[in-house]
Amino acid sequence: MTEWFEEALHPGLTQGLSMDRVLFRSSTGQQELLIFENRLFGRVLALDGIVQTTEGDEFIYHEMLTHVPILGHGNASRVLVIGGGDGGTAREVLRHRSVEALTMVEIDREVVDLCATWMPSLADGALSDPRLELVIADGARFVAETSRSWDVIIIDSTDPVGPGEVLFSEAFYRACRDRLAPGGVLVTQNGVPHVQAEELTGSYRRLGPSFADVWFYLAPVPTYQGGHMAFGWASDTVALRRTGVAELTRRFEHAGFGTRYYTPEVHAAAFALPASVLALMA
Ligand code: AG3
pLDDT digits (tens, 9 = 90+) for 182-227: 999 999 999 999 999 999 999 999 999 999 999 999 999 999 999 9
Q: Which of these, 179, 96, 101, lies nearest to 134 by C-alpha position?
A: 101
Q: Is the CB of 48 under 6 A from ligand 1?
A: no
Q: Which of these, 190, 186, 193, 195, lies nearest to 158 by C-alpha position?
A: 190
The 8-class DSSP code of residue 166 comes to: G
pLDDT tens track for 73-132: 999 999 999 999 999 999 999 999 999 999 999 999 999 999 999 999 999 999 999 999
Strand order in the sheet with 32-38: 21-27, 32-38, 42-47, 50-54
Residue 70: pLDDT over 90:
yes
**The pLDDT of residue 163:** 81
Helices 58-73 + 245-255 axis angle, to 10: 110
Residue 282: pLDDT over 90:
no
**The pLDDT of residue 131:** 98
Whose alpha carbon is nearest atom 9 of ligand 1? 191
pTM: 0.98
Q: Is the CB of 108 under 6 A from ligand 1?
A: no
pLDDT tens track for 12-35: 999 999 999 999 999 767 789 999
**The pLDDT of residue 276:** 98
**The pLDDT of residue 197:** 97
Q: Is the CB of 50 under 6 A from ligand 1?
A: yes
pLDDT tens track for 144-180: 999 999 999 999 999 998 888 999 999 999 999 999 9
Q: Is the CB of 159 under 6 A from ligand 1?
A: yes
Pocket test for ligand 1, best of 41, 44, 45, 53 (most atoms within 8 A of CB): 53
Residue 153 CB-density burial (10 A; 0-12 exposed, 13-18 middle, 19+ buried)? buried
Whose alpha carbon is nearest atom 13 of ligand 1? 84
Phi first, then psi: give them for residue 54, nearest 5 degrees.
Answer: -135, 150
Q: Is the CB of 189 under 6 A from ligand 1?
A: yes
Residue 84 Cα: closest atom of ligand 1: 13
Please state, in angstroms and rounded to a whole number, the distance separating the CA atoms of residues 45 and 106: 16
**The pLDDT of residue 31:** 86
Of these residues, 48, 108, 151, 156, which one is catalytic? 156
Please state, in angstroms and rounded to a whole number, the distance separating the CA atoms of residues 150 and 103: 9
> What is the signed CA dihedral for 211, 220, 112, 8, rounded to 10 degrees?
100
Please state, in angstroms and rounded to a whole number, the distance separating the CA atoms of residues 171 and 94: 29
